[in-house]
Amino acid sequence: MPKILVIGAGITGVSTAYALIQSGYEVVVLEKQRYAAMETSFANGGQLSACNAEVWNHWSTIIKGIKWMARRDAPHLMNPSPSWHKYSWLAEFMANISRYRENTIATARLAILARQHMFDIAEREKIDFDHVRKGILHVYYDKAGFDHAAKVNEMLVEGGLDRYAVGPAEISSIEPALTGSFHGGFYTPSDSTGDIHKYTSGLARVCEGRGASFVYDADVVRITKRNRFTVSYTRNASASGAATENLDGDAVVVCAGVHSRGIGAMLGDRLNIYPVKGYSITVDLSDERSQASAPWVSILDDRAKIVTSRLGQSRFRVAGTAEFNGANRDIRDDRVRPLVEWTRTLFPGITTNRVIPWAGLRPMMPNMMPRVGKGKTPGVFYNTGHGHLGWTLSAATSAALAEVIGKEIPAEARLAA
């Protein structure tokens, strides 16, 4: 059978490996970290959210970004220091504002399809990932925010999503633990939450049980092609004199998150992926009062750009913000503190004396749409650039890519050597 080399063992890479195994391919996954799901798939907001399919390509995003530039705790923070990568990305981002409606509807449709794919996989493979199917509730403090959300809702409903407006009394009945004065909200009962790290790690074990090989601590340094592809990588690259090792395969699939841009360049493809940093805190619900005060329904506060997920009885995830600051993984106190204060304000019964902060880099394309399909070179494929919807979309994009590969490299016959 053809051997496919998948680069990246985050949610997209592991989902791709699973789809390819299901289609009859031999799969080897290369990952630069020591384990699967150790970068952006480690501690994100945890939402499986078709309701969050609105792309960011809107003039209001630009205006808010400029207005918030001087605020270190702003929901969207732009480092103004010059960078060709950053400003070329922003130029393309603005060029895609005209496709805002079209891309939002397309993303909603893809998210709904992906959601069922993932549910089916988790059930079939018996993957436990603290899945909570109680919906997602968007909340708005004023009429202006609610009115904009109503326009977005029209697009999401056109995309096939079951989502409807709720008033203050309904907000309280949907999630009694939530405190605050809200103008209104929108509720999506079919969306859900879970632990992306547990799901991805569990799916990686399933892939290994089905015959896939995972090569960890593998930092890809070169990709060449003669009759077949050769991926060259170093193990323990931080050590001086690290030896280069090689793997041969019939095709290469790049699923490397923010690293996809550099790997794509090795293959002659331009992927203008920018690393947009997001933060999260995981609150330890160590006492009964905290457990009773934490919500089970996922909340999305549009003004603060914060989302929540309940991860079992004893953990509560709060995540958000978008920081344009290059490949910077520093965890800044002034970016984490607003997440803690938001938790204390809206859920005052939660004790926040044990909080684990985290930061990850979302791989975002300027049009907010994932890059899925063939590269310039025959045998090169991409499934990357999913931005803030990596977990939500990955099951569907992986299944779609497996179909594309199946047409170009049938699983029944190995490529001629």
Helices (H), 240-377: 260-266, 288-293, 333-346
Helix or strand holding residue 58 (H, E): none
Question: From start to end of 238-326, where are the E strands?
Answer: 244-249, 251-254, 274-284, 298-301, 306-310, 315-324
Nearest to 90 by CA among 308, 325, 247, 274: 274
pLDDT, mean over the chain: 94
| Count of Cβ atoms closer than 10 Å to residue 184 Cβ | 21
| Count of Cβ atoms closer than 10 Å to residue 156 Cβ | 26
Q: What angle do CA 48, 171, 154 make, to 5 degrees?
A: 60
CA 202/CA 187 separation, integer angstroms: 30
Which residues contact residue 316 at a Cβ distance below 8 angstroms, ignoring those fewer than 6 apart?
282, 283, 285, 290, 294, 308, 309, 310, 343, 350
Res. 140: pLDDT tops 80: yes
Say how many CA atoms lie within 13 Å of 410 toward its Cβ: 3
Tokens of 371: 């890059």
User: Checking DSSP bridges between strand 136-140 and strand 298-301, what pairing results, if any?
Assistant: parallel
Which residues contact residue 84 at a Cβ distance below 8 angstroms, ignoring those fewer than 6 apart?
none
Q: Which of 75-79, 162-166, 283-287 has the lowest mean pLDDT?
A: 75-79
Nearest to 54 by CA among 409, 402, 389: 389
Can you give the pLDDT at residue 62? 83
* CA 9 remoteness from chain centre: 13
Q: Which of 125-134, 264-273, 325-334, 386-395 has the lowest mean pLDDT?
A: 325-334
Q: Which of 57-71, 86-100, 319-333 has the lowest mean pLDDT?
A: 57-71
Can you give the pLDDT at residue 237? 60
Query: How large is the average pLDDT for residues 117-135?
Result: 96
How far CA 251 is from CA of 2, 221, 248, in Å, comes to 8, 17, 9
How far CA 21 is from CA of 30, 203, 206, 207, 406, in Å, comes to 15, 12, 10, 7, 12
Backbone angles phi, psi at 344, to 5 degrees: -65, -35
Can you give the pLDDT at residue 79? 76
User: Could you tell me the pLDDT band of residue 39, with boundaries at 50, 70 and 90?
Assistant: very high
Work out the percent of the chain whose per-residue pLDDT is above 70.
97
Query: How large is the average pLDDT for residues 395-411?
Result: 96
Could you read off the pLDDT of 176-228 as tens digits, one per residue? 999 999 999 999 999 999 999 999 999 999 999 999 999 999 999 999 999 99
Q: Which of 225-239, 258-272, 376-390 has the lowest mean pLDDT?
A: 225-239
Can you give the pLDDT at residue 414? 41
User: Could you tell me the pLDDT band of residue 239, with boundaries at 50, 70 and 90?
Assistant: low
Can you give the pLDDT at residue 164? 97
* CA 64 remoteness from chain centre: 23
Query: How large is the average pLDDT for residues 272-301?
Result: 97
Nearest to 222 by CA among 232, 234, 211: 232
User: Could you tell me the pLDDT band of residue 325, with boundaries at 50, 70 and 90?
Assistant: confident
Tokens of 189: 């009962």
| Count of Cβ atoms closer than 10 Å to residue 344 Cβ | 13
Tokens of 238: 């931080």
Could you read off the pLDDT of 49-89 as tens digits, one per residue? 999 999 999 988 888 777 776 677 777 777 777 788 999 99
User: Could you tell me the pLDDT band of residue 417, with boundaries at 50, 70 and 90?
Assistant: very low
User: Could you tell me the pLDDT band of residue 238, with boundaries at 50, 70 and 90?
Assistant: low
Can you give the pLDDT at residue 416? 36
Can you give the pLDDT at residue 80? 74
What pTM value is reported for the model?
0.94
Tokens of 124: 């079939």
